[in-house]
């Protein structure tokens, strides 16, 4: 089996999400984030903002080889993989992306056909790494068994609401990085356990959530345009949670499982 070639150190703890960032706000937000120290930017064909994300990256003046640029392939474009990738590269204004993700699974045969084109794109040097998003462990297993190529990353909704203690060990055994998305929009920011933890540390619930991801070894993609939010989300290493606090946040999922969309 072949797989992961992510650079040493892999993904940073917090990447910049850009869903629903458009126009001048996106250019400013990306540039500001890179000025503050973000080094990984997450977009997608489906976000329809690759051009402004690319403009924000160029405005930052940061060298291309110091950045990780992630984009995603919409599964409804199956059969047009190379054209879609060429368009992403053109819009972003780059010669390669660091990580190209299948935005979501198809049926087993469909995912395999797309994955084969992903492997070819990597061999052609158009993408450094290839991965998937929103795949369940069984779908990952199936793709790996059929193709012999392990995704570098599976980007999934991850947070106390979705916490599945079996996911990270399953992926780690295959050498796949679990990257969380939507750390705030998919979680209950008013949950009393989160609020009490934040108060104890003099931090925001958002910062506690990002720290909890770090404690689970899960890098995350968080979206922000407000300069205060962008800066605050980079302070995740400035404080720590106790094992008991991490465990209490883990248990939030037990009360939430019934309404988790499968």
Question: Which positions touch ligand NAP (CB under 6 A)?
Answer: 17-19, 42, 103, 133-134, 155, 181-185, 204, 206, 221-226, 229, 232-233
**Interatomic CA distance for residues 5 and 117, integer angstroms:** 17
What backbone phi and psi angles, to 5 degrees, belong to 196? -65, -40
Compare residues 123 and 190 and give the one whose CB is closer to ligand NAP. 190
Compare residues 21 and 121 and give the one whose CB is closer to ligand NAP. 21
CB of 80 to ligand NAP, least distance (A): 20
* Of the candidates 53, 20, 22, 23, the residue with the CA atom closest to the CA atom of residue 38: 53
CB of 244 to ligand NAP, least distance (A): 24
Show Cβ contacts of residue 8 under 8 Å, excluding neighbours closer than 6 positions.
none
Residue with CB nearest ligand NAP? 17
**Interatomic CA distance for residues 38 and 88, integer angstroms:** 21
Compare residues 16 and 148 and give the one whose CB is closer to ligand NAP. 16
CB of 182 to ligand NAP, least distance (A): 4
Q: Is 96 in the active site?
A: no
**Interatomic CA distance for residues 28 and 31, integer angstroms:** 5
Residues recognised as catalytic? 47
């Amino acid at each position: 089996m072949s797989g992961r070639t992510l650079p040493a150190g892999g993904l940073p703890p917090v990447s910049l999400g850009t869903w629903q960032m458009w126009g001048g706000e996106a250019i400013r937000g990306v540039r500001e984030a890179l000025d503050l120290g973000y080094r990984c930017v997450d977009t997608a064909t489906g976000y329809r903002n690759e051009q402004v994300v690319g403009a924000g990256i160029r405005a930052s003046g940061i060298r291309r080889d110091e950045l990780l640029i992630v984009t995603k392939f919409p599964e409804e474009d199956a059969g047009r993989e190379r054209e879609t990738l060429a368009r992403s590269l053109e819009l972003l204004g780059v010669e390669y992306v660091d990580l190209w993700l299948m935005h979501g699974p198809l049926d087993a045969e469909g995912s395999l056909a797309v994955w084969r084109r992903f492997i070819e794109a990597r061999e052609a040097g158009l993408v450094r790494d290839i991965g998937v998003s929103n795949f369940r462990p069984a779908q990952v297993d199936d793709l790996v068994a059929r193709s012999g190529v392990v995704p570098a990353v599976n980007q999934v909704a991850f947070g106390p609401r979705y916490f599945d203690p079996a996911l990270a060990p399953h992926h780690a055994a295959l050498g796949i990085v679990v990257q969380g998305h939507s750390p705030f929009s998919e979680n209950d920011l008013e949950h009393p356990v989160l609020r009490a933890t934040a108060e104890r540390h003099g931090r925001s619930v958002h910062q506690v959530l990002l720290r909890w991801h770090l404690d689970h070894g899960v890098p995350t993609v968080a979206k922000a345009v407000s300069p205060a939010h962008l800066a605050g989300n980079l302070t995740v290493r400035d404080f720590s949670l106790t094992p008991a606090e991490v465990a209490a946040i883990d248990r939030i999922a037990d009360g939430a499982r019934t309404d988790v969309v499968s």
